[in-house]
Amino acid sequence: MTTESTLSKETILDTAEQVLRRYGDKTNVVDVAKVLRVSHGTLYRHFASKAALLEAVTERWLHRLSLPLEAISIQQDGNPQERLRIWLETLIKSKQQSAAEDPELFVIYTAVTSQGTELIENHLQYLITQLSRIVQQGMNKQMFKSGEPGATARAIFMATVRFHHPAHAYEWNAVTKQDDFELVWQLILAGIVREDMKL
């Protein structure tokens, strides 16, 4: 049994995820407190509101999804163009799989995203920073056109937003989605790869 003295934020978040998967966005703080067998007032000492709790769940969920992307972005070997493609495909796959396999948490993520919170802004900047590393490496190897890596990374991210932003989830089952991605990918390559480096 959980006691107030042994209750941690991680325990609360673990339990909140379980409850959210069961009840979806109808979940409230009292539901989580009941499972933990503590008063809802105890949870409010850790999270000031339901919104704060949901944001914390979303932040941890996004962090888990970001770990494979971080690993790709810090690699030093390999072809930057190939790594850029792998990074984008990994991002897209993780978001689309989450929508299909973890729909309750994806709904929470969508709701938090629609509110434009500081959490989401920080997450987007974190992803663009990862992309910037890959772009910078491509420029350093003189495979990509010279320029400002952060601006180029942001443009690439925005160009592919249809494939990973939750607002476009209703499009992710379209039979043309792979062909559509290929069109965008070729446009990205045309914009960033030096003429003498094109295959």
Kindly report the CATH number assigned to the domain that includes residue 44. Answer: 1.10.10
Range of the domain at 23: 1-48
Q: Do 71 and 31 belong together in one domain?
A: no
* 109 and 144 inside one domain: yes
Alpha helices in 115-160 (DSSP H): 118-140, 149-159
Give the pLDDT confidence score for residue 66 in this predicted structure: 93
In this structure, the dihedral spanned by the alpha carbons of residues 121, 124, 129 and 134, taken in order and rounded to 10 degrees, is -170
Q: Are residues 67 and 163 in the same domain?
A: yes
Same domain for 98 and 174?
Answer: yes
CB atoms within 10 A of CB 25: 12
| Same-domain status, 96 and 137 | yes
CATH of the domain at 93: 1.10.357.10
Q: Do 109 and 24 fall into the same domain?
A: no
**Domain stops at, among 48, 69, 84:** 48
What the block records as the tokens of 167 is: 């607002």
Both 73 and 123 in a single domain?
A: yes
- The reported pLDDT for the residue numbered 1 is 47
Residue at 138 is within a domain: yes
**Looking at the 3D structure of the chain, how many domains does it have?**
2
Q: What are phi and psi of 142, to 5 degrees?
A: 60, 35
Q: Which residues of the chain have pLDDT under 50?
A: 1
Question: Is residue 41, in this structure, part of any structural domain at all?
Answer: yes
**Residue 53 neighbours by CB distance under 10 Å:** 23
pTM attached to this predicted model: 0.88
Examine the domain organization and report whether 84 and 29 are in the same domain: no
